[in-house]
Amino acid sequence: MLFSRAVMALLTAVFSCLLFSPVVLSLVQDLDDKFKDNRMDDVWLVDFYAPWCGYCKKLEPIWQEVGAELTRSGSPVRVGKMDATAYSGMASEFGVRGYPTIKLLKGELAYNYKGPRTKDDIIEFANRVAGPAVRSLPSRQMFEHVLKRHSVLFLYVGGESPLKEKYIEVASELIVYTYFFSASEDVLTESVTLSELPSVVVFKDGTYFTYDEYEDGSLSSWVNRERFQSYLPIDGFTLYELGETGKLVAIAITDEKDPTEQSTRLKGLIQKVAAEHRDQFNRDFQFGHMDGNDYINSLIMSEVSVPSIIILNTSNEQYFLPDEPLENLQQMLQFFNSVLDGSAPAYGGDGIFQRIKRVAFDARSTIMSVFRSSPLLACFLFGLPLGVISLMCYGICTAESDDGTEDMELMKRDGFTDEEEEEGEEEEQQRLTAGPENAEEEGEKIQQKNPSEKKVD
């Protein structure tokens, strides 16, 4: 009885694998050169990868989960992957420059994904970009729902206008970053009051801010600056995106695992600047904190203490550090103002010296990382070439030394050195120019020499 049950369980497991394996595999389609002609009817989320790429291999299980989740949720987005090395021409047409590259293809448009490579973030990106650039909010209940769901959202309020046309154009361009909605005035809650219509409003940080064309410049630039919360946690991916806003990034570097009183004070001060001095600094600064200094140290190729404050200019790789510890709000405001007026010293940059330093730093970091991860492999990779070069240098040096020794030995066998040879030539010349008498005297002198002197001659 037990044996039959075990057999039935085994057969059931095998049958399940045979039945469901094709479905799982088909959730992510392998794309080829025919994809270009057939993609226009669907929305595609595509991973362009290289078989030898380590990051691509790390993304593979996550990509399978993305395909399964989007299929399970009934999303219209189809998930695929393409070997960009096998179909390099098509990858170039889609603007693939590195691996892995994630793109959402919707009609003639192609949107790049630049966020963290996690399942939830990729799915959120796909659902956002696959939908309409501007979503309509038909009721106050829906408006309150999206306010709770999104930390940052943009809203157009009003009827048809040139501003709405511009808003739709900007939304089509920047939908990869944030959400765009539209609504009529009666949808808004009593806490939202607008001085004029139509208007574009951003809701974030528990409040809202209205776009002013005369003060804020173009709508696209304003949306790009406002698409982040005023203060937020910052990592490598976030810092890369913050650089595209054109703002300076002010970061409190702290140790979140072991927070000290100074760390807590710095975070509180920078949050206070972001909240209470928005009108003064929001156009130029993005504020946040970063856990640990490893990433910053690798970025600026220097050592920054924890806790501390640093301001990064991602456009030219410059950074600013306070001359002394910032103990209060007034000192922090003075530091930010000194950066804006140019009185604070700037470090780093993108000059030729810094580029050379960057190459050397990256090479050193790569070598050290290899040694830490696999010492034996590192010794083989770097020790073998150095050993070969050392043997070659030794062979060249010893070959030159042997040639010189052979020349000296030959001269000794001939009975004289270079100096003695020159002296002998001078004496011979004097004998030729001298008269017969001198020749006889020289002959007598030679006869009087002892055998040892003759041997030397």
Closest CA relative to residue 252, chosen from 301, 339, 311: 311
Active-site residue among 56, 379, 393, 397?
A: 56
Closest CA relative to residue 36, chosen from 101, 103, 97, 134: 103
Distance CA 207, CA 186 (A): 18
Report residue 17 as tokens: 């694998």
Tell me how many degrees the CA angle 415-416-417 measures, rounded to the nearest 5: 145
Cβ burial, residue 261 (10 Å; 0-12/13-18/19+): exposed
Alpha helices in 277-320 (DSSP H): 278-281, 294-300
Backbone angles phi, psi at 110, to 5 degrees: -130, 125
Q: Is 56 known to be catalytic?
A: yes
Active-site residue among 53, 379, 393, 397?
A: 53
Task: For residue 212, give Cα distances in angstroms to 27, 172, 226.
Answer: 46, 21, 13
Q: Is 379 known to be catalytic?
A: no
E runs forming strands in 116-227 = 135-136, 153-157, 179-183, 199-204, 207-210
H/E element, 75: none
Backbone angles phi, psi at 41, to 5 degrees: -85, -10
Peptide bond into 345 cis (omega under 30): no
- CB count within 10 Å of CB 269 equals 20
- CA atoms in the 13 A half-sphere facing the CB of 162: 1
Closest CA relative to residue 65, chosen from 131, 118, 13, 128: 118
Residues annotated as catalytic (active site), given as ranges? 53, 56
